[in-house]
Amino acid sequence: MRLLERMRKEWFMIGIVLVIAAAKLEPSVGVNGGPLKPEITVSYIAVATIFFNSGLSLKTEELTSALVHIKLHLFIQIFTLAFFPATIWLFLQLLSITPINEWLLKGLQTVGCMPPPVSSAVILTKAVGGNEAAAIFNSAFGSFLGIVITPLLLLLFLGSSSSVPFTSIFSQLFMTVVAPLIVGQIVRRYIKDWLERKKPPFGAISSSVLLMIIYTTFCDTFSNPNIDLDKFSLVLILFIIFSIQLSFMLLTFIFSTRNNSGFTPADTVAIIFCSTHKSLTLGIPMLKIVFAGHEHLSLISVPLLIYHPAQILLGSVLVPTIKSWMVSRQKGVKLTRPTV
């Protein structure tokens, strides 16, 4: 079993390299409006598949217990929608004295204001074996909060405001997140015994969907003509984005593993991914709405277009390391637990 799991991870890492190379070679295939129609296959079908898969594989009692884990939910939402954007704002005050394009810096601020994604954090938490139920709840709940809070944060930090089509965004979230999850849970009730006996490859299904998301995301990134920046600026923005991600992942790890934190290793995994990931699916439409007609919209969008594939790539690379830590920590807890 361990050999199969190791082989699956290796093939997944190879798959990441291949889909990125394919996106670079011919990005027109996976862009919006292209042959794959990612505006439908990814935004709706892929995301819905992820949450139906989660609803089918997740034990109902685990999801129910996750709903009452108030401390964990507060930690993730406050970090994502308050601490993250505020810290980025302070960091940008220092960067403002550098020669970096001011609109790229404003783009970094918009990244901080974005809600969590409804897919990547869940898939990566599941890949590690963390608290998937908590990841599902916080990804969905954070997305709903972001519909209201993100425009307010953009107004606060950047001074931009506009009317946001809350109804259409809520409808999309319900169709792609809530409904598939509920349907998956209902179907599970009727085929629970079969699922436990056959053990379908839920992990492989989620990994395949993630590869598709990675591919179409990089297609959008590589095909965007407005990302034709000078190499120095592009490298600098890439370095800053990866530094931000690693710093915040380390910060959430330190906070959630303190002796008095009250979080389990599985909780920490969900916290690391849910607190630091930002949504491109919700983010780009929001930027197009809030900055409608803005002459520098393309430059403002660049950091988010980079951040999204970078978070998936970095998270995927760190999955084996985080999983090894979680397993060793869980074994340590079991060994130190007194016997009755």
What's the pLDDT tens digit per position in 92-141? Answer: 999 888 888 888 888 899 999 998 886 788 889 988 989 888 898 888 78
User: What letter would DSSP give residue 70?
Assistant: H
- CA within 13 Å, CB half, 121: 33
* Closest by CA position to 222, among listed 15, 12, 30, 44: 30
Gap between the Cα atoms of 314 and 318, Å rounded: 6
CB distance 50 to 119 below 8 Å:
yes
C-alpha dist (Å) from residue 260 to 98, 238, 257, 274: 40, 35, 8, 21
What is the rounded (10 degree) CA torsion for 103, 108, 113, 117? 120
State the pLDDT at residue 74.
92
Amino acid at 181: L
State the pLDDT at residue 163.
53
Please report the domains of the chain, with CATH numbers, ordered by start residue: 1-330 (1.20.1530.20)
Tokens representing 47? 């995301």
Ranges of residues in the chain whose predicted pLDDT is under 50 = 1-3, 5, 161, 335-340
State the pLDDT at residue 10.
60
State the pLDDT at residue 339.
41
Amino acid at 57: S
Tokens representing 134? 């908590």
- In angstroms, how far is the first alpha carbon of the chain from the final one? 32
State the pLDDT at residue 229.
60
Tokens 């009250």, residue located: 262
State the pLDDT at residue 103.
82
- Secondary structure element (H or E) that encloses residue 208, with its range: helix 202-223
Gap between the Cα atoms of 231 and 252, Å rounded: 32
- Buried b / exposed e along 27-37 (16+ C-beta atoms within 10 A): bebbbbebebb
This prediction's pTM? 0.70
State the pLDDT at residue 281.
65
